[in-house]
A and B are shown apart, each in its own frame.
Chain A
Amino acid sequence: MSGKPPPDEALHIQDLHITVHDGAAVAVRGITLTVGAGEIVGLVGESGSGKTLACRAALGVLPAGCAVSEGTISFGGQDVTDLSRRGWERLYGTAVGAVFQDPASYLNPNLTVGGQLAEVLRVKQRMARADAHRKTVELFAAVGLHDPERVFHQIPAELSGGMLQRVMIAIAISCDPRLLIADEATTALDVTIQAEIIELLKDLRDQRNLAVLFVSHDLALIRELCDRVVVFYAGEAVETGPVEEIIDRPRHPYTQALLRVASVGDFQRRELRVIPGQPPQMGEDVVGCRFAGRCPAAIDACRSGPIDLLRLGPGHQARCVRAGDPELEAAAEAELAAR
């Protein structure tokens, strides 16, 4: 890619391939996505679908044996694909922040949470102790913690899971990064707290023009929060597009299957659907579409060769040869109407 990227682009991933087991298998193939400032992009898929690996690549923390074999990752124009450890350390917190699933395991249990955030500020922004304390209390208030001055002096064991996750978010945004990556950040939280954290993320986006990459296995949650979504399956992006459109008119059979099993939310008694079969093993070589084995609509063309992303509309693409097929569309719509 040459030329300057749009000034408000926080993250751009181009044709990313990640290999695992020291290059023995390709776990992620050809992922391309962009997150602009103030945008919330969701990555949805089962575990093993590659979404977490893609996130880790974007944070420079791929596990041992894994490596980016092709493609580029850039933050606001700066290519970080082959960045050194030193380079990444400069970016952490200032260009990108991250929150993960179990906040308690990312905090030192013996130190106050305020102290841990203040330490980040003192180290990364060379703040004086008093300033760091003040900013910490401000940040705690910004993430919705009641009585932030009191929370400053508490240790993780005294705080609930929801409060700890707010602390983690505060740490992640403390140095004003342009991008926040949240990997299953609400999975371990109660549903009421999850709803509050989702709102917090939306507020942060509105107030700070923060770009958010939100990873989840729960399509309903993605729908609540995200503007756009990338559906991952077996290491590939099988559908991308605006979230409302993908929910209303999913074009890829896997997205349709995800919708079938997702929580509808009207609490009616209905038949519980499942997705039969199993995804291919990580890195397994499959000729043609990787979902064909489980797809109710698969035809011969699906298994003959690699499937490209089909453009279906502005910003909406699907990796399915039958994506534009009117028969399939009609059947899908009928099914949605019946629910």
Chain B
Amino acid sequence: MSRRPLIGQRSWLRLPSARIALVILAVVIFLSVFGSALAPQNPLTINANALFQGPSAHHLLGTDYLGRDVLSRLMAGTRLSVLTAFEAVAIGLVLGAPLGVATVFLGKWFDFAVNRVSDALMTLPYIFFAVAVTAALGNGLVQAMSAVGILLAPGFFRVTRAATLEFASAQYVEAAELLGATKGHVIRVHVVRKVLPTIAVTTAMAAAGALLAVSFFTFLGIGVTPPAPTWGGVLSSDLDYLSQAPWAPFIPGALIAVTVGALNALADAFRDRIGPGALPLPDPVIKTHSTLTTSHPEAADVRQTAA
């Protein structure tokens, strides 16, 4: 039997916003892997003679308050910022999405319990929770972002659960049950591929939020061990020395904004093209004239019958 790709619709790639977003994100991801190696200078090298320099041939984006090359710091800082943001998203996804599917199929007490836990988590403000976790587990960005990840999980959970509910009550699921299907079969064959688009949209939005959270934490100094460069950290120190270098904060600020914007654009593209509501068949609940069909015995039919 032929397998069709799971998120197989190519139409979202046609959106120019999605293409631009993909390019931006590809660059960011590339930098998070190779950024340190490709940085033109050592991001940690202090040069007291070259403080607050503007862009030049030697320092393409100028230097900071310690004479360090800004471009190199940002390139090297990509890894920490981006990877921890993705770590948070991954934690949220792995915790939230499978539970979202499971609660629909595992009975109402399980559903009730998980929902209450999710509700409780959603009441926690993420900054305080992150600070509390770093206080308990040690001051590291990884720990802080894990906290963010846990708080992202309810969002994944609710969205996945809503999408699953919609499909779990479909008549083709009932038809499968009549053939003796187990819940596992129903989930595997019918439900998973239909909730993936919803999960994709949520993932993109969560990534944008997580990246903002990372920037905010590093800006505040949570989980940061200087002198390791991070986007938020660069932004924070730039703001401290605004009078000496008023152009400086725009650079890391723009970097954050563009990346977050790209993630949001991707989420929008997913939502418009492959999210629920973009399904090819008409809404079966709405009765239209097309319920009357006059398809006749056609060429594809084996038997032709004569009136």
Contacts and interface: CB of A to CB of B under 8 A. Distances in A.
A241 to B, nearest CB: 22
B283 to A, nearest CB: 11
Interface in A150-190: 184, 187-188
Contacts of B292: 47, 184, 187, 217
How would you classify the secondary structure of chain A's contact residues: helix, strand, loop or mixed?
A: loop
A47 B294 contact: yes
Given A101-B289, A102-B287, A184-B289, A261 B294 contact: no
Interface string A183-211: 01001100000000000000000000000
A276 interface: yes
Contact of B307 (A101, A105, A276): A276
B296 A276 contact: yes
Contacts of A47: 289-290, 292-294
A240 B298 CA distance: 28
Contact of B294 (A46, A102, A296): A46
B48 interface: no
Nearest to B304: A276
A278 B295 CA distance: 7
Given A47-B293, A187-B292, A277-B296, A261 B307 contact: yes
Interface string B281-303: 00000110110111111100000
Interface in B248-297: 286-287, 289-290, 292-297
Interface in B117-133: none
A55 to B, nearest CB: 11
Contacts of A257: 307
A278 B287 CA distance: 24
A278 B307 contact: no
A260 interface: yes
A217 B290 CA distance: 13
B289 A274 contact: no
How would you classify the secondary structure of chain B's contact residues: helix, strand, loop or mixed?
A: loop
B57 interface: no
Given A260-B307, A276-B305, A105 B297 contact: no
B306 interface: yes
Contacts of A102: 287
Contact of B287 (A101, A261, A275): A101
Contacts of B294: 46-48, 217, 279
A52 interface: yes
Contacts of A277: 296-297
Given A257-B307, A260-B307, A261-B307, A276 B289 contact: no
A134 interface: no
Contacts of A187: 292
Nearest to A102: B287
A274 B287 contact: no
Contacts of A279: 294, 296
Interface string A252-281: 000001001100000000000111111100
Given A101-B289, A188-B287, A276-B297, 18 more contacts: A47-B289, A47-B292, A101-B287, A105-B286, A217-B294, A273-B307, A274-B296, A274-B297, A274-B307, A275-B296, A276-B304, A276-B305, A276-B306, A276-B307, A277-B296, A278-B298, A279-B294, A296-B307
Interface of B: 286-287, 289-290, 292-298, 304-307
Q: Which 8 A-B pairs have the closest CB atoms?
A: A46-B294, A102-B287, A273-B307, A278-B296, A47-B292, A47-B294, A274-B305, A260-B307
Interface of A: 46-48, 52, 101-102, 105, 184, 187-188, 217, 257, 260-261, 273-279, 296
6 contacts: A184-B289, A188-B287, A217-B292, A217-B294, A260-B307, A274-B297
